[in-house]
Amino acid sequence: MTRSLFQALAAALASCEIEQKIALTAAIEADWLAGELDCSDETAVELVCGRPPKPELVAPKQVLQRNPKSPEGRARLLHAIVHIEFTAINLALDHAARFRGMPTQYYADWIGVAAEEAYHFRILRERLLTLGHDYGDFPAHAGLWAMAEKTANDVLARMALVPRLLEARGLDATPPIQRKLEESGDDASARVLDIILRDEIGHVGLGDRWFRHLCKARELEPESTYRRLLEEFKAPWPQGTMNEAARLAAGFSREELAALASH
């Protein structure tokens, strides 16, 4: 007998205890693959994002600059990335839980992403622990989740502005961070980020694929629609040098990258 996928997702999303959230996320993936979860269930669920009491969430400008040349600076830098990965678990769970009536593959994709984000969180947290700190030791900001809240009523906007915009910015930011870590002698952390970058190209690619799928269903031209949504939601346009190879692998076209860069 199958159970409601959406009830399982809501329970994982609502969990405030880190290890429990990770365990529930792993159980969802296993149960889904075993055919025990039903994505056609119409039962309404309340979606609440659970977080541990720490880290303290502050405005982005209040998060201290993270210079990796010092041990504490490297710890702060890694902590910021660990926080992004924890938030990404919640994001993937919410992508799957919030939007009903999507193709079965949509739910399969974001369940898989949630499990990968949990893995990323674990391996980055392990690196942070080697530097004498743990998740929650430093303040963090909730910029990623704020955009999830803004796009809660439209799956097309969600795919455009969370995976395809904000998570794509991570593709741009990762290589410079890796270079800074290598320059400071922390090759081990830089190599963990190799794993993150590889997988995140796939996650952004899923956002791109579902965004284009939804645009086609609504008879919208994807790339102009994307730029319109950036304006409509007052979202941050790509800044600095874009990771062109990673973005092309994730589904962006050269023409779109040129248009975004010329904004």
* First vs last C-alpha separation in the chain: 53
Residue 8 lies in a domain: no
Predicted confidence (pLDDT) per residue in 141-162, tens digit: 988 899 999 999 999 999 999 9
Q: Which amino acid is at 68?
A: P
Residue 25 lies in a domain: no
Based on the number of CB atoms within 10 Å of its own CB, is 69 exposed (0-12), middle (13-18) or buried (19 or more)? exposed
pLDDT at position 198 is: 97
How many domains is the chain partitioned into structurally?
A: 1
pLDDT at position 70 is: 87
205 lies in which domain range? 65-261
Token reading at 52: 């541990």
DSSP for 150-206, please give it. HTTT-HHHHHHHIIIIIIHHHHHHHHHHHHHHHHTT-HHHHHHHHHHHHHHHHHHHH
Predicted confidence (pLDDT) per residue in 164-203, tens digit: 999 999 999 999 999 999 999 999 999 999 999 999 999 9
pLDDT over 80 at 35, yes or no: yes
Residue 250 lies in a domain: yes
Residue 56 lies in a domain: no
Residue 138 lies in a domain: yes
The CA-based angle 41-43-48, given to 5 degrees, is: 115
Residues 6+ apart with CB under 8 A from 76: 64, 66, 138
Residue 113 lies in a domain: yes
Task: Read off the CATH number of the domain in which 106 is found.
Answer: 1.20.1260.10
Q: Can you tell me the mean pLDDT for 79-101?
A: 97
